[in-house]
Amino acid sequence: MQFEQLKTPNGQTMEGPLLMTPKCFGDNRGWFYESWSRRSFDNAVGETVVFSQDNHSRSIQGVLRGLHYQLAPEPQAKVVRATLGAIFDVAVDIRSSSPTCGAWIGAELSAENKAQLWIPEGFAHGFLTLSAVAEVQYKARGFWNKACERALRWDDPTLAIDWPQGELNGNTISLSPKDAEAPDFLSAKTSGDLFP
């Protein structure tokens, strides 16, 4: 497994998230790859990570889920991958003390490239479905807790996320009612809904 730090659009390296790309072995019979190894993963992130639950979602093209996060006492970290189709996956740094607070990184995750994104606590997460259908699976550290759950607006001009809407073949962004009503980054900051 190869682990890579990603850069923000302005070229800053963002500490925390890691793009994980496995080595795939294949021939005319099919392929095999190791999708996760505790030893290599814990070495790469510098801590022992114990996951609490696995989640699986299915979305049609244009569905945007996010930007979601949970605050203390039950923050969540995730390892995200697409096992069918393709998504554009985004992490936004919402750690107030971070030099990249308010910045974002993004990567295409697909069944074809088999890449995964580690998103630690302190980041908001969202993805846009690029293919006709995509299935996303992720491991989560920390259980879902409605009282801790928060969201940020996907099209917040302060965050200025460059979602690849040109890849939607004319389809428009589709949001849940909750995501459509999410506050912007500055409102969340003012109300104390960011990480320290």
Instruction: Report the distance separating Cα 94 and Cα 124, nearest Å.
Output: 7
Specify if 176 maps to a domain: yes
- Kindly report which listed range (20-34, 47-61, 173-187) carries the lowest average pLDDT score: 20-34
Name the token pair of 179: 């995501």
Average pLDDT across the chain, whole number? 96
- Model confidence pLDDT, tens digit, residues 67-76: 999 999 999 9
Specify if 195 maps to a domain: no
Q: What's residue 35's pLDDT?
A: 86
User: What mean pLDDT comes out for the span 85-114?
Assistant: 97
Q: What's residue 3's pLDDT?
A: 95
Specify if 123 maps to a domain: yes
CATH number at residue 157: 2.60.120.10
Half-sphere exposure of 157 (CA within 13 A, CB side): 0
What is the percent of the chain with per-residue pLDDT over 90, rounded to a whole number?
94
Q: How confident is the model at residue 85 (pLDDT cuts 50, 70, 90)?
A: very high
Q: Interior CA angle at 83 toward 107 and 134, to 5°?
A: 75
- Please check the confidence at residue 36 and state whether its pLDDT lies above 90: no
**How many Å separate Cα 22 from the centre of its chain?**
18
Active site residue 56: no
Q: What's residue 100's pLDDT?
A: 97
User: What mean pLDDT comes out for the span 171-185?
Assistant: 96
* Strands 24-27 and 116-119, bridge-based pairing: unpaired
Domain interval for residue 103: 2-190
- Model confidence pLDDT, tens digit, residues 119-148: 999 999 999 999 999 999 999 999 999 999
Instruction: Report the distance separating Cα 160 and Cα 145, nearest Å.
Output: 28
Q: How confident is the model at residue 92 (pLDDT cuts 50, 70, 90)?
A: very high
Which amino acid does the sequence have at 6? L
Specify if 164 maps to a domain: yes
Q: Which has the closest alpha carbon to 94: 138, 73, 125?
A: 125
Specify if 85 maps to a domain: yes
Instruction: Report the distance separating Cα 108 and Cα 68, nearest Å.
Output: 18
Catalytic-role residue among 56, 68, 69, 125: 68
Catalytic-role residue among 33, 56, 125, 138: 138
Active site residue 33: no
Q: Which has the closest alpha carbon to 159: 139, 187, 184?
A: 184
- Model confidence pLDDT, tens digit, residues 102-112: 999 999 999 99
Domain count, the chain: 1
Q: How confident is the model at residue 34 (pLDDT cuts 50, 70, 90)?
A: confident
Specify if 196 maps to a domain: no
- Please check the confidence at residue 77 and state whether its pLDDT lies above 90: yes
Q: What's residue 33's pLDDT?
A: 86
